[in-house]
Structure 1
Amino acid sequence: MSYIVDLQVRGSSLRVIKCMFREDEQISSLHSGSDSKQNSNKKLGEFLNLLKAVVKRKLESFPKDRLKTSIITGQELMREGQGSIEIKDPPTEAQQHLIRSLAKVLLHQFSSINGKVNTVNEGQDNLFLSLFVKKISIEQQSTSHVPIKLNFHEKINLGQHIDSILDSEETNESDTYHVGSADEFIIYPFCCLEEQGELKNGSILSTEFDKIDLELDEDDGFEGETLNNCINSVGNFDIPLSKQTLNLVNISYLPGTTFEGQWESLYFGNNIKERLYSYATISLKIARFKQTGDSNQEDITTLITNNKLLLVHGPPGTGKTTLCKALCQKLSVRREFSDCSDTIDTNYKGIIIELSCARIFSKWFGESSKNISIVFKDIEELLKVNEGRGIFICLLIDEVEAIASSRTNLSSRNESTDGIRVVNTLLTQLDRLKKYHNFLALATSNLLDSLDDAFVDRADGVFYVGNPTAEGILHILKVCIEEMITSGIILFHARSTGIKFFNKYQDILRKIAIKCSVCFFFYSTFTILFLSFLLHKKAFSLTVFVKHKYAINIDR
């Protein structure tokens, strides 16, 4: 079985390690004259390889049922064995000294035996993980998952593998053909930008910016935008977006703490998450191949085409927008589509540009389509700057029916032609950007039938997200209770744990989930959780008390 492991490194500890590497290389560069930055990045890469090796050995000792889709926090790792400690954020001076000493010792052991982790004992494992690991997200790899590269020299039955993919919805997991080793952990270390301390003001100026010349009417009364004011600061980075575009979109840098954990908290049937991730990754990989392939470039462009547009539709409130943002977070963490180094640095790995459809429309005729043109022109400049850096740009259009309504319906209702011009402009601009290998467009809609046929036809994949099933509601309940336990809202006695709680009241939670699944409306997650305690309070004793906020104390 293969598992995808997203390893979130503790940012405060990582800063200490980076500082140590820089200090060592500055001293050595004074004597040798070598590039200290390059050597420092090399050492950081070796450190991450050591961390991945230790995490892999730790996960190999876990029982199989524990390795199903789940999140293992640093606190849980500390309870797995002796030798771990609880570290403060930021770490104290004594803890910083411990981090430096342990890293030097383990790196020396690791490098002296050519990248093997056999000399690191279990006590060092637990201490190492408690100092550097914040959270581990484990996702069981889909049985129909296609590896990054298929080695045709391997003795595999390709026809059997294709049949397993085509019949995956009708075949039991145990009967499905697997490619790859029996127990494989694909580990992706990352650190959210906000946790890396002071971020550099990442100016991404390039020679392309000399060509920027936004067209403004002379009657507008504006002086026009020069090169300097076209480069605007958003967060901790300078990006080539005009002020007009920034008024129409929301910018998010990846990986970010805002989106961390959202992917694991979402649960949908029919493997929607896995299929959406595969479509997005393959779309970016095909674009990358078209640019770097060895074959004739013109033939590749003609034969292999993709629009890099994915459409997610379904009833309101089912998590479509959250799913899209969580997908972008995973793409920035795993970066399977990029050949760039996976070394953790302070630069962003992806950008979400969330287009606000409500701001696009204007009361003035022709202004709505002009707004779309300006936004897409700026996005194209941003794509050019990041094209060679392995950074992808995602355009997220929420409730896309506002700007992509059916032109046939608009004409039949004698609507203003301005709405039709908006749809035409959107389709034209999407066709312009699909040539960039680092571009991805995600669109959500509550009304699929109202969308223009040409827009739907451009989508590489269309995914339906419906109301959660009983199994999905049960998963939501568990995730929320786990979060309340972690945050200290639900407290247990020393002998009781969250795992025992779930095992004991599994049937009660399932009954609640089934009841909610047949209702005509979907309660909010916290309402369901609150009702579960109220309706079944006779099953266990509850004590509510105030400790900075209300908490629930499980007596038995």
Structure 2
Amino acid sequence: MELVEDCGGTSALAVHVEVLVKPRSTASKTDVRMHVVAFLDHHRVITGNHRWTEFDEQFLRQNVDSVAIADPERGTIDLKGCNLTVHIFTLNNDGLSTLNLEEDEELSAANHWLLPAAEFQGIWESLVFEDGVKTQLLDYVSTTIFFSDKNVNSNLITWNRVVLLHGPPGNGKTSLCKALAQKLSIRLSDRYTYSQFVEINSHSLFSKWFSESGKLVTKMFQKIQQLIDDEDALVFVLVDEVESLTAARNASHAGTEPSDAIRVVNSVLTQLDQIKRHPNVVILTTSNLTEKIDLAFLDRADIKQKIGPPSTEGIFNIYMSCLGELMKCQIISPRQQLLTLHELETISFMESNVSQMSLNIHLKHFTFKCSTPTVTLERFLGALDKAVDKELEDRAKMVSCA
């Protein structure tokens, strides 16, 4: 098996490099890019999720927080001859703000962030899903924007800029939406001056006054339209638990769905059809109950991706990332090297001083440094296993009841 991807030849492998610049840096992007490329020239074979935070060169120490190879699914990469795409960004520390439909309203209609947001940093890397899920979502949004830039006839090739993530609760759908918006705000920073993320509070759009809910939905999308009108901004809109706004209208025939809820669905569908003409907006939605969603909305979703419980490989990677974090924070000591599943496969799962800790996950000689009596890592992982098993059992019960 070829362990290193060959980047030579006429079709070089595209590798994304994300450069986090310090907030007080005054260096130009051109200078940062030049120094980062020179830095990477001294590194050849690396893993696809490698990150540098310490630098010998003074310019990088003064201006750059981290340099990351952001292609974790590629495994090991030979950088020689690769086509490096360098994304330079700084994090926005303004935090959460709120959007209200009326000035005197106490309940916010939506939460709003400027991207890339400091509080979203690292979410993407922490999420573990089946192979290709995150890449597919990244490629989809990038493709829709590329099609718009190339003036592809949307009557021939239709896209609605709507993504639906569905599946049992607690598997990371909402977090994935936030992480996807964060990642795209970095990847498309050369295309758009800045990005915005709006998380709609669906419950605030239902009025106690009959027939008012549809009008509130319209007002909410008018607020979003104001953000979209700035063509230099990339706008992400998250509708969590979208079934609350898009309940199946066929329930009205049985008399189980109030007419006001039907007006909400009609309003949502109308607004989606209006804003899809804009190239700088992406609608991200999640649902635990897809059978409750109106078919007209499902038809508008370009991607309907199920997010289920992690696979065996995913669970292993989650364990490794959790242990790595606990070691970094010196809660578990001593700090030792942990190998990814890909790295273990590379050495054919041969046991050595380096691989033993990853192959034998219980590692009895690791201990917690706590004020409480010493707890072995084996006991910790045993308790964690029981918690995971109980969580999966509870989810299975919920699914069967539904």
TM-score range, shorter chain: 0.7 to 0.9
The residue type equivalent to 1:132 in the other structure is: N
The CA deviation at 1:490 is 3.1
Q: Contact 2:320–2:338 at 8 Å: present in 1 too?
A: no
User: Is contact 2:99–2:109 with CA below 8 Å preserved after alignment?
Assistant: no
Matches within 5 A, 1:15-94: 17=26, 44-60=28-44, 63=45, 66-68=46-48, 70-74=49-53, 77-78=54-55, 84=56
Pairs within 5 Å for 1:136-155: 136-140=67-71
Corresponding residue of 2:381: none
What is the aligned-residue identity percentage?
29
Name the CA distance, whole Å, in 2 between partners of 1:57 and 1:352.
Answer: 36
Aligned-partner Cα distance in 2 for 1:545–1:447 = 42
Choose the corresponding residue for 1:284, options 145, 161, 169. 145
Q: Is the 8 A contact 2:331 2:370 kept in 1?
A: no
Aligned position for 1:540: 365
Secondary structure at 2:369 match in 1 = strand
Which runs of 5 or more residues in structure 1 are unaligned? 19-43, 79-83, 85-123, 144-172, 175-179, 200-232, 294-299, 341-347, 510-535
SS at match of 2:70: strand
Q: How far apart, in 2, do the equivalents of 1:436 and 1:190 lie?
A: 25
How far off its partner does 1:73 sit? Answer: 4.2
CA displacement, residues 166-213 of structure 1 (integer Å, 9 cap, x when unaligned): xxxxxxx99xxxxx996333221111022xxxx8xxxxxxxxxxxxxx
- Is the CA contact 1:284–1:440 (under 8 Å) kept in the aligned structure 2? no
TM-score (norm 1): 0.57
Residues 53-452 of structure 1 mapped to structure 2, 5 A cutoff: 53-60=37-44, 63=45, 66-68=46-48, 70-74=49-53, 77-78=54-55, 84=56, 124=57, 127-140=58-71, 183-194=82-93, 243=103, 247-290=108-151, 300-335=153-188, 339=191, 349-384=194-229, 386-387=230-231, 389=232, 391-452=233-294
Please say if residues 241 and 379 of structure 1, whose CA atoms lie closer than 8 Å, have aligned partners that are also in contact.
Answer: no
In structure 1, C-alpha distance between the alignment counterparts of 2:116 and 2:374, rounded to whole Å: 32
1:478 is displaced (CA, Å) by: 1.6
Q: Give 1:303 deviation, angstroms.
A: 2.8
Partners of 1:553 and 1:501 in 2: CA distance: 20
Contact 2:365/2:376, CA 8 A, preserved across alignment: no
Quick check: which has more Rg, 1 or 2?
Answer: 1
Residues 338-362 of structure 1: per-residue CA shift (max 9 Å, x gap):
645xxxxxxx721111011121112
Shift of 1:301: 4.7
Amino acid at match of 2:355: N
Counterpart-to-counterpart distance in 2, 1:58 and 1:552: 43
In structure 2, distance between residues paired with 1:445 and 1:251: 21
Find the aligned partners of 2:297 and 2:80 in 1 and give their Cα distance: 41
Return the alpha-carbon distance in structure 1 between the equivalents of residues 102 and 188 of structure 2. 28
CA contact (8 A) 1:369 1:421 kept: yes
Given that 2:107 and 2:204 are in contact with CA atoms closer than 8 Å, whether structure 1 keeps it comes out as no
Q: Is the 8 A contact 1:284 1:439 kept in 2?
A: no
Residue 318 (structure 1) shift: 0.5
Shift of 1:491: 3.8
Equivalence for 2:21: 9
In the alignment, is the contact (CA less than 8 A) between 1:8 and 1:135 conserved in 2?
A: yes
Matching residue's letter, 2:84: F
2:308 to 466, 488, 496: 466
Secondary structure class of the residue paired with 1:258: helix
Distance in structure 1 (CA, Å) of the matches to 2:202 and 2:225: 19
Contact kept in structure 2, 1:544 and 1:553, CA below 8 Å: no
Aligned Cα root-mean-square deviation (Å): 3.3
Secondary structure class of the residue paired with 1:366: coil
Unmatched runs of 5 consecutive residues or more in structure 2: 6-12, 340-351, 378-402
Question: Offset at 1:8?
Answer: 1.3
2-structure distance, mates of 1:241, 1:475: 43
Q: 1:58 Cα deviation (Å)?
A: 3.8
Higher helix share: 1
Opposite residue 130 of structure 1, the aligned amino acid is R
Change (3 A) 1:245 1:287: farther
